Amino acid sequence: MIGRSVSALAQALTEKTISSVELTQLYLDRIARHNPLLNAFITVDGEKSLAQAKAADEMRAAGLATPLTGIPLAQKDIFCAKGWLTTCGSKMLNNFVSPYDASIIERFNAAGAVILGKTNMDEFAMGSSNETSYYGAVKNPWDMARVPGGSSGGSAAAVSALLAPAATGTDTGGSIRQPAALCNLTGLKPTYGVVSRYGMIAYASSLDQGGPMARSAQDCALLLNVMAGFDERDSTSLDRTKEDYSREFSAVASDKPLAGLRIGLPREFFGTSERSGCAPEVMQLVDAAIAEYRRLGAQLVDISLPNMKLSVPSYYVIAPAEASSNLSRFDGVRYGYRAPDYSDLNEMYARSRAQGFGAEVKRRILIGTYVLSHGYYDAYYLQAQRIRRLIANDFVAAFKQCDVIMGPTSPSIAFKLGEKAADPVQMYLSDIYTIAVNLAGLPGMSIPCGFANGLPAGLQLIGDYFSEARLLNVAHRYQQANAWHLQRPQGID
């Protein structure tokens, strides 16, 4: 069973080859064996998981099964789950047992999915290597000396090492796509507003979006079908007609399944001099994947996203500004960490926050506080928001010429643990290809496109607003013709 796709597992459950209790136990055993090395999970609670699995088996016996009934899934520890420790990777929430479910947890529970555990992540989703977690770094299953990417690094490592069939992640600047690329997974960040943020601990609210991480586009579609949907408890949730995100997979097979698809290649990624922004071994794999897309019938279009290079600077104003506001709630009064010693209220706040937050979170709160402070607001925050508009407009213009934009997901394969930890700017530049998508609010994916020195690389697919079903199909057609996504790390038995 281990290593089968979500739909194959669902079929096995339907055919009674295995029960959800047995399947969940298989995965719990793998977690017990491999998690001490990988550190992909912060919390595992076999009793809770097996109780859910038992309920799922009963749901199936009663004829009430949905496609995910009985499927164990790893949940990023940013999603509140009732009765589960929910830390968001921080000491600040070291004792926070959530009294309620996030919307997506409610939806997975209603569908009969099983929570296999809560996955490790960069503290408050701020990081690109999973090294900022209070609970220790996660190891990349493809090379234990390297990072899995971040911030959804625990989810990526768990699925990649087959400790879970699939997982959830969240993506504010690349936190689903970059770890998916570094761990050989398929990950999707939906259009902003498609997946409810209720109960998803906020980092930068205008950018945060939850999404699936799995071993194929087909599996991602199965998860997104449950995750997506209107929620009145999220003020930015979009009220749209329900979609089946796997609807395009059933199109008739042919040797040119993508005939007519126009793929935009931004000069800012592929221009002769711009290519040097990406490691040559990654660029080679991306070029090969695009050549494969031509064989599948797609045509290539030269496009431009002229303000692309401004995405990292504007993001590091907007995201910290929103974070400084969102994280002001952690004050040691209603929940979370409180410092043991203080003499007055101000000292209680300042010490609780100094001791409860890690260095990167504090840095971003300080940046955000500064750019929003009197006298600097126009020069930084408003300027960043104007640039955000320019970046979004670039995409609007590009999608008049093409259907999907492609490029690298990450400028390198997985880097070594500690390699960038001391230099925030180098770490921030890990997300040069992904951040613009969040600023514009567009859907984006990363799919496996091959290996360099035994380590996986990702191809990024960016679609127009609400084009998730098409993106998933574009990914699926590639995965029908190639087997990169099925490769498994050798170091994990």
Partner 1 sequence: MSLTLEQVRRVAHLARIEVSDAEALSTLGHLNGIFTLIETMQAVDTRGVEPMAHAQDLAQRLRSDQVSETNRREDFQALAPETEAGLYLVPQVME
State the residues that interact with partner 1 by CB under 8 A.
95-97, 99, 192-193, 206-207, 232, 235-236, 238, 307, 309-310, 312-314, 316-317, 324, 328, 331-338, 342-351, 353-354, 357, 362-363, 365-367, 369-370, 373, 379-380, 382-390, 392, 423-425, 428, 439-441
Contact 214, 173 (CB under 8 A): no
Give the nearer residue to partner 1 in terms of CB position, either 10 or 387. Answer: 387
Strands (E), 347-454: 404-408, 444-452
Shortest distance, position 49 Cβ to partner 1, whole Å: 23
Shortest distance, position 313 Cβ to partner 1, whole Å: 5
Give the nearer residue to partner 1 in terms of CB position, either 176 or 298. Answer: 176
What is the Cα–Cα distance from 78 to 119, expressed in whole angstroms? 9
Give the nearer residue to partner 1 in terms of CB position, either 192 or 478. Answer: 192
Shortest distance, position 298 Cβ to partner 1, whole Å: 27
Residue with tokens 């796509």: 177
* 22 Cβ contact list (under 8 Å, min separation 6): none
User: Across the strands, what pairs with 213?
Assistant: 167, 187
76 included as an active-site residue: yes
151 included as an active-site residue: yes
Residue of 19, 20, 49, 76 marked active site: 76
Give the nearer residue to partner 1 in terms of CB position, either 1 or 97. Answer: 97
Contact 164, 72 (CB under 8 A): yes
175 included as an active-site residue: yes
Of 229, 226, 215, whose CA–CA distance to 113 is shortest? Answer: 226
Alpha helix locations (H) across 122-279? 153-160, 177-182, 217-227, 267-270
Of 448, 221, 147, 183, whose CA–CA distance to 461 is shortest? Answer: 448
Shortest distance, position 422 Cβ to partner 1, whole Å: 9
DSSP-derived pairing of the beta strands 72-76 and 114-119: parallel
Backbone angles phi, psi at 425, to 5 degrees: -65, -45
- 147-186 burial by CB neighbour count: b if 16+ within 10 A, else e? bbbbbbbbbbbbbbbbbbbbbbbbbbbbbbbbbbbbbbbb
Which residue type does 463 have? G
Residue of 151, 216, 324, 430 marked active site: 151
Shortest distance, position 382 Cβ to partner 1, whole Å: 5
Give the nearer residue to partner 1 in terms of CB position, either 271 or 424. Answer: 424
Residue of 175, 216, 237, 314 marked active site: 175
Shortest distance, position 364 Cβ to partner 1, whole Å: 9
Give the nearer residue to partner 1 in terms of CB position, either 4 or 338. Answer: 338
Catalytically active residues, by annotation: 76, 151, 175
